[in-house]
Copies of this chain bind each other. A is one copy, B any other.
Amino acid sequence: MDFSTVELTDETREFRRDVSEFLDVHLNEAVLETERRTGAGHSQPLHRALASRGWVQPTWPVDEGGAGLDPLQNRILQLELADRDAPMISSGTTRIVVGAVRSYGSPWLKEQVLPAVAAGEVICCLGYTEPDGGSDLAGVRTGAVRDGTGWVINGAKMFTTGAQHCQYCFLVTRTNTEVPKHKGITTFLVPLDRAGIEIRPIETLGGERTNAVFYTDVRIEDDYRLGPVDQGWKVLSGPLSDEHGLQRGDAELDEINGQGAGYRATLDRLFRHALHWALTAGPDGSRPYDEPFVQLRLAEIATDLEIARSTPGAMGRVNGSELLIRDSALLVDLVGPTAVLPHGATGASEDGLFEWGHRYAQGTATYGGTTDIMRNIVAQRVLGLPRPPRFDG
């Protein structure tokens, strides 16, 4: 057990200063404002700048395009990016895809993709969910059919976030309808510039942009296949469980609450701003925090933050999201009418943070597998509860 402060070496302190100065320049108000306006989840100027320092894949060796950072340095970099609200959605999906390419890509595909990723020239999105499918990945219908040495793809995917600026989509397809559902799946890395691909924007309640992507007679070579034909389920169990936040990094600095860590960080930000609001004196000289009602509410939320931080694995993913949903709503209530004014509106509390937080929170229960699915995982894998009877393979 260890929660001690990390004593930074001179070298690490220097690194931290370097990161900070770099981000002062490249993660500037223009980048943030563009992100607020577009909800793209990605800034190409920032991404290029990060790539120039090897910070797109910061822990990769320098000769592979990374920066060879140690876990502490990487943690410092990631924390700075998160604290400054850097748009990193596509970086996250790319990280998931890179894992699959490393494990299952052909040598040619690796050569095509991995250096370009590190160089900031390639980013990747995820083609998982289908219009009728929800979180049921095994029920995928988008089909890939053999065509000579290649494949022809037809179908549609919802919520392919980042498709409008990504070069590749990690696509889950059905290649066999004669076998139990999860045994007829094959995964591909599909170049998004192929003919027959149409990308339509989907606006979300949280302001993030995502996409519906339609695939009509899209032809790709077999080299873009990831893993053996019909064995995509195995490929998916890697990245999916990663997206589900069930894996933890090695560093003793890492959060233990998986995918919930990011949502907790959002709640942390909302809380800090609310505390700032509560400790600021109004025109009559009194502070909201002088009132027991306000103290009780903020103390509850601060406790939730520590609870979320202390909840391990898949449980932490559920708590991270659900406490954010509950508390973001309570914070709007607490702050009052100015909390429903968005960024840029006259008089918006904390520049619209609370208005955004309440909307944004709702999506966190769905991203990368719903909290319902997470509870099933906890029930069956953590607690060993019996599975419900199933009707299909």
Interface of A is mostly: helix
Complex contacts, A389 vs chain B, CB 8 Å:
391
Is A3 interfacial (CB 8 A cutoff)?
A: no
A389 to B296, CA, bound (A): 45
Residues 335 to 393 of chain A near chain B (Cβ within 8 Å): 389, 391
Is A293 interfacial (CB 8 A cutoff)?
A: yes
A142 to B86, CA, bound (A): 66
Question: How many copies are assembled?
Answer: 2
A293 to B, closest residue via Cβ: B292
Complex contacts, A292 vs chain B, CB 8 Å:
292-293
A51 to chain B, nearest CB (A): 50
A359 to chain B, nearest CB (A): 27
Residues 277-299 of chain A: 1 if any B CB is under 8 Å from the residue's CB, otherwise 0?
Answer: 00000000000000011001000
A323 to B296, CA, bound (A): 22
A293 to B297, CA, bound (A): 11
A389 to B390, CA, bound (A): 9
A304 to chain B, nearest CB (A): 18
Complex contacts, A296 vs chain B, CB 8 Å:
293, 296
Residues 289-327 of chain A: 1 if any B CB is under 8 Å from the residue's CB, otherwise 0?
Answer: 000110010000000000000000000000000000000
A386 to B173, CA, bound (A): 29
A296 to B391, CA, bound (A): 49
A271 to B292, CA, bound (A): 23
5 A-B pairs whose Cβ atoms sit less than 8 Å apart in the complex: A292-B292, A292-B293, A293-B296, A296-B296, A389-B391
- Nearest 5 pairs of A and B residues by beta carbon: A292-B292, A389-B391, A292-B293, A293-B296, A296-B296
